[in-house]
Chain A
Amino acid sequence: MMEPVLSLNGITKTFRDGEKSCPALAGISFEVAAREIVCIMGPSGCGKSTLLRIIGGLDSADAGTIDQASGNKDGKPSAAMVFQDHALFPWLTVYENIVYGLRLSVQNLPEEEIAKRAESLLDLTHLTAFALSYPHQLSGGMKQRASVARALAIKPSILLMDEPFSALDTFTRRELEDEVVRIRQDLKTTFLMVTHNPEEAIYLADRIVILSGRPAIVSDILQIDLPYPRDPADPAFIRIREQVTRMIRGKA
């Protein structure tokens, strides 16, 4: 395995609400290697999103460490996040949304440099014609593509995605899944993605991390050795899908 981009060691989290305490994560440890696509699955409410939020810096862990390699030249570790709802800023154009994080994370980047990166991302996500549109003028799939472009703009060491395509229709969803594979190919991006859909996980992932129910521990890590592009109708694919479904049901 290549040098890990992200390694989690014993991440533990308990939610407290007054007297009540609700353990969510009980020592989660795994690694994600560079250029890997890893999917996190598990019964609903098992803390998948919480784990991703902790890695993304939106929540803090009670115990455990997160080691993140730096993804860019200036040596700062950078994880970018894509949410289930596109979370684009409605008052900014698609272009301004895409460069939002870039402007924040790299201060005083010359405007031509910003424009160059935005153009290549617009091109990558097929949004060039919509650069000056506002989010409410886009379809659901386009919004989510813009959201992915915004995250990619900072050249993240890892892209964290929390059920990014679950609000989309089946066809749009498959289209975006294909783009994830293509982006990994083109930009050498590393992905860590939470999904509740076994087919999506097997379609995309090099490995699937399966969490158990509350409090969550890593119950299995499944290596998917099918070549890309994968075919959901392939008997091997179907066999793995059955297996994954069984594994998750058993954990609920």
Chain B
Amino acid sequence: MVLISKQSIRDYGKGLALIVILLIVWEGLALLIQNNYILPRLGEILSVLLQPAAPVLGGESLIQNTIQSLKEVLTGFLCAAAIAIPLGLLIGWSKEVQTYLNPTIQILRPVPPIAWMPFAIAWFGIGFHSILFIIGMGAFFPILINTVDGVQGVRLRWIEVAVTFHATEFEQLRTVILPGALPVIWTGLRVSFGVAWMCVVAAEMLPGTTAGLGYLIMYAYNLGQLQVIGAGMIIIGVIGLGADTLFRAGQERLFGWQGKE
């Protein structure tokens, strides 16, 4: 155990080293260029980050903007999951349903979520609901595809065990197919959360939005405040990393059996 943790600390160190080098290069170039409109100094970015509760550029604080974006991401993500998981179970389970739905899904899947923006605005107006729709569109397909794959990957033998105990189709779904597919569904959720996070930033950049990290970045861009953009990007990256770490930890904790059966 001690050896493993030493190894992982060393790995973290290696990962951190590159970040430190990048920061040094950044700062060096910033000193050289001496132009805040091209490359702001790290100190400037840091001073924005270190006052998370202070109003930024006369608007909401970093914390308020972050909370706004998180609220949008979580709502959109949960709505997408609530539709994609049951639908994926159904498609994975029934060849017939899959035959009907697959062409539609494959056509809609490659459409970038942001391309829906004009329709979203036309249907839902400017603001929260449009952003939700965009995020939902982005988050939906990774969950759906992984749920279908997960169901189709459930070992036939497990289902046979349920059948020998006279499980009804619903019982098979509840006791074998869902838990058997869950690790793959979880992977879908992890990927999807990353996509949702990207979508929120893009969606908030559109006119009519008044808060959120994406909005903040766009607003700072219009005012030429690159240090605020840098701060926003760092927050987005760190939250993305944090979410991914949580999902990975969950994966290990919940599905430790995976690959060992």
Closest 7 CB pairs of A and B: A136-B260, A90-B257, A101-B165, A90-B261, A81-B164, A104-B165, A87-B157
Contact B164 A56 (CB under 8 A): yes
Contact B158 A87 (CB under 8 A): yes
CB of A83 within 8 Å of the partner chain: yes
Contact A80 B255 (CB under 8 A): no
Interface SS of chain B: helix
Given the known interface contacts A58-B164, A136-B261, the answer about A100 and B157 at a Cβ–Cβ threshold of 8 Å is no
Per-residue contact bits, chain B 168-211, to A (CB 8 Å; 1 contact, 0 not):
00010001100110100000000000000000000000000000
Given the known interface contacts A90-B257, A136-B260, the answer about A57 and B163 at a Cβ–Cβ threshold of 8 Å is yes
Given the known interface contacts A83-B157, A91-B180, the answer about A104 and B162 at a Cβ–Cβ threshold of 8 Å is yes
Contact A90 B164 (CB under 8 A): no
Q: How far in angstroms is the closest Cβ of chain A from B102?
A: 24
> Which chain B residue shows the least CB distance to A135?
B261
CB of B167 within 8 Å of the partner chain: yes
> Which chain A residue shows the least CB distance to B172?
A104
CB of B82 within 8 Å of the partner chain: no
CB of A237 within 8 Å of the partner chain: no
Contact A91 B255 (CB under 8 A): yes
Contact B260 A90 (CB under 8 A): yes
Q: Could you show 26 A-B contacts with beta carbons less than 8 Å apart?
A: A56-B164, A57-B163, A58-B160, A58-B164, A81-B164, A83-B161, A87-B160, A88-B261, A90-B257, A90-B261, A91-B179, A91-B182, A91-B255, A92-B179, A100-B161, A101-B164, A101-B165, A104-B165, A104-B166, A104-B167, A104-B171, A104-B175, A105-B165, A105-B166, A135-B257, A136-B261
For B171, the chain A residues whose CB sits under 8 A away are 104
Within 8 A of B (CB), among A84-107: 85, 87-92, 100-101, 104-105
For B161, the chain A residues whose CB sits under 8 A away are 81, 83, 87, 89, 100-101
CB of A130 within 8 Å of the partner chain: no
Within 8 A of B (CB), among A161-202: none
Question: In whole angstroms, what is the CA distance A88 to B162 when docked?
Answer: 11
Contact A91 B166 (CB under 8 A): no
Which one of B164, B166, B176 lies within 8 Å of A89 (CB-CB)? B176
List chain A positions with a Cβ less than 8 A from chain B: 56-58, 79-81, 83, 85, 87-92, 100-101, 104-105, 134-136, 154
Question: In whole angstroms, what is the CA distance A58 to B179 when docked?
Answer: 22
For B260, the chain A residues whose CB sits under 8 A away are 90, 136
Q: What 5 new A-B contacts, CB under 8 Å, besides A101-B164, A136-B257?
A: A89-B161, A89-B179, A104-B165, A104-B171, A135-B257
Q: How far in angstroms is the closest Cβ of chain A from B259?
A: 9
Q: How far in angstroms is the closest Cβ of chain B from A2?
A: 25
Interface SS of chain A: loop
For B258, the chain A residues whose CB sits under 8 A away are 90
Contact A57 B164 (CB under 8 A): yes
Q: How far in angstroms is the closest Cβ of chain A from B178?
A: 10
For A101, the chain B residues whose CB sits under 8 A away are 161, 164-165
Contact B175 A100 (CB under 8 A): yes
For B256, the chain A residues whose CB sits under 8 A away are 134
Q: How far in angstroms is the closest Cβ of chain B from A87?
A: 5
Which one of A83, A91, A104 lies within 8 Å of B257 (CB-CB)? A91
Instruction: Pick the most buried of A83, A87, A105: most chain B CB atoms within 10 A of its CB.
Output: A87
Contact B165 A154 (CB under 8 A): yes
> Which chain B residue shows the least CB distance to A160?
B164
> Which chain A residue shows the least CB distance to B161?
A87
Per-residue contact bits, chain B 56-90, to A (CB 8 Å; 1 contact, 0 not):
00000000000000000000000000000000000
For B261, the chain A residues whose CB sits under 8 A away are 88, 90, 135-136
Question: In whole angstroms, what is the CA distance A198 to B43 when docked?
Answer: 81
Question: In whole angstroms, what is the CA distance A81 to B166 when docked?
Answer: 12
Question: In whole angstroms, what is the CA distance A29 to B175 when docked?
Answer: 35
Q: How far in angstroms is the closest Cβ of chain B from A80?
A: 6
Within 8 A of A (CB), among B121-176: 157-158, 160-167, 171, 175-176
Question: In whole angstroms, what is the CA distance A101 to B166 when docked?
Answer: 9
Q: How far in angstroms is the closest Cβ of chain B from A152?
A: 12
Q: How far in angstroms is the closest Cβ of chain B from A81?
A: 4
For B157, the chain A residues whose CB sits under 8 A away are 83, 85, 87
Question: In whole angstroms, what is the CA distance A92 to B258 when docked?
Answer: 12
For B175, the chain A residues whose CB sits under 8 A away are 100, 104
